[in-house]
Chains A and B, each alone.
Chain A
Amino acid sequence: MLHIFCPHCGELRSEEEFHASGQAHIPRPLDPNTCTDEEWGDYMFFRDNPRGLHHELWDHVAGCRQYFNATRDTVTYEILETYKIGTKPQFTGKTETTKVVTGLGEKV
Chain B
Amino acid sequence: MTAANVYPQRPTTGAKAESPLHHADLASLVGKGRKNAGVTVRDKKLLGHLTIRGDGHDPAFAAGVHKALGLELPVALTVVAKGETSLQWMGPDEWLLIVPTGEEFAAEKKLREALGALHISIVNVSGGQQLLELSGPKVREVLMKSTSYDVHPNNFPVGKAVGTVFAKSQLVIRHTAEDTWELVIRRSFADYWWLWLQDAAAEYGLSVQA
By a beta-carbon cutoff of 8 Å, the part of chain A in contact with chain B is: 1, 8-11, 13-14, 16-17, 61-66
Contacts and interface: CB of A to CB of B under 8 A. Distances in A.
Contacts of B148: 1, 14, 16
Nearest to B75: A10
Given A9-B77, A66-B91, 20 more contacts: A9-B76, A10-B76, A11-B77, A13-B149, A14-B148, A16-B148, A16-B165, A17-B164, A62-B163, A62-B164, A62-B165, A62-B170, A63-B162, A64-B76, A64-B90, A64-B92, A64-B94, A64-B163, A65-B94, A65-B163
B206 to A, nearest CB: 25
Interface string B67-97: 0000000001100000000000011101000
Interface residues of B, number: 13
Contacts of B91: 8, 64-66
B74 to A, nearest CB: 13
Contacts of A1: 148
B163 A14 contact: no
A107 to B, nearest CB: 15
